[in-house]
């Protein structure tokens, strides 16, 4: 890929729609820096719960964000958000975080806090000589990078998504999280016009990855 071919790929979709696994494969195949924006909301949620702040206490959450130092660390092809000296890991996938994360992600101040940091990963990817950036989440193609070169929206049947989470050993109320993510006022989960919709229900992971890779390579010509 030539230097000027730097691409931004946005992958949005509901919980367990296949975003993370697909994004990781595309990141490997195309040399893109991978960022999971859901992990940013999860890390903040984890830190807020650790402090004993209830998810509905917007005032306390705003005060907490004023003093929070956020940075990033690159591991392989993935960029992870750091909170102070801490790189949150598997604890951000706990049932407690699953339960509170959509409430905290709906808080305007939380989204305002993360947005410029999420956008800054384009520069991070360039500085580290990646061929582009792939970011997954709920509002990547609508709010974070509406000008992305490729915008995808993944979906899958609820039964299939529940099965995927169970297979991962996770307790996750997918339906409730999707409802909260779709109904919130700021940056809701929506399929925006122009994003390519892919139903992953009948497809294997490789088939989904092949489909998206094909679209990206064809679009880059
Ligand atoms: O992708 P995930 O299921 O790990 O995301 C966890 C939560 O974070 C999700 O329920 C809503 C929120 N989120 C968001 O509001 N905006 C994003 N771009 C990514 C995630």
CB 4 within 8 A of CB 141: no
Rounded mean pLDDT, 168-183: 87
Q: According to the model, what pLDDT value does residue 94 have?
A: 93
User: Could you tell me which CATH number the domain at 3-219 has?
Assistant: 3.40.50.300
pLDDT at 3 exceeding the cut of 70: no
pLDDT tens readout for residues 80-120:
999 988 888 899 999 999 999 999 999 999 999 999 999 99
Any atom of ligand 1 within 6 Å of the Cβ of 49: no
pLDDT tens readout for residues 61-84:
999 999 999 999 999 999 999 998
Q: Where are the domains of the chain?
A: 3-219
Nearest to 189 by CA among 144, 156, 133, 142: 142
pLDDT tens readout for residues 183-205:
999 999 989 889 999 999 999 99
Q: According to the model, what pLDDT value does residue 1 have?
A: 46
Give the number of the atom of ligand 1 that is nearest the alpha carbon of residue 180.
10
Q: According to the model, what pLDDT value does residue 6 have?
A: 96
Any atom of ligand 1 within 6 Å of the Cβ of 145: no
Q: According to the model, what pLDDT value does residue 166 have?
A: 87
With the most atoms of ligand 1 within 8 angstroms of its CB, the residue from 181, 184, 186, 195 to mutate is 181
Rounded mean pLDDT, 20-39: 98
């Amino acid at each position: 890929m030539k230097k000027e071919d730097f691409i931004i790929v946005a992958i949005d979709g509901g919980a367990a729609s296949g975003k993370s696994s697909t994004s990781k494969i595309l990141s490997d195949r195309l040399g893109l820096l991978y960022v999971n924006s859901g992990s940013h909301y999860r890390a903040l949620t984890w830190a807020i719960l650790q402090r004993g702040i209830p998810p509905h206490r917007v005032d306390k959450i705003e005060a907490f964000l004023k003093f929070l130092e956020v940075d990033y660390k690159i591991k392989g092809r993935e960029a992870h958000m750091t909170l102070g000296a801490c790189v949150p890991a598997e604890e951000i996938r706990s049932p407690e975080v699953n339960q509170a994360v959509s409430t905290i992600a709906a808080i305007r101040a939380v989204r305002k806090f993360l947005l410029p940091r999420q956008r800054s990963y384009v520069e991070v990817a360039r500085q580290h000589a990646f061929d582009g950036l792939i970011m997954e989440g709920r509002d990547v193609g609508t709010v974070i990078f509406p000008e992305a070169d490729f915008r995808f929206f993944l979906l899958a049947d609820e039964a299939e998504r529940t099965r995927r989470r169970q297979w991962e050993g996770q307790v996750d109320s997918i339906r409730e999280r999707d409802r909260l993510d779709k109904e919130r006022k700021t940056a809701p989960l929506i399929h925006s016009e122009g994003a390519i919709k892919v139903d992953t229900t009948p497809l294997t992971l490789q088939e989904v990855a092949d489909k998206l890779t094909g679209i990206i390579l064809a679009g880059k010509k």
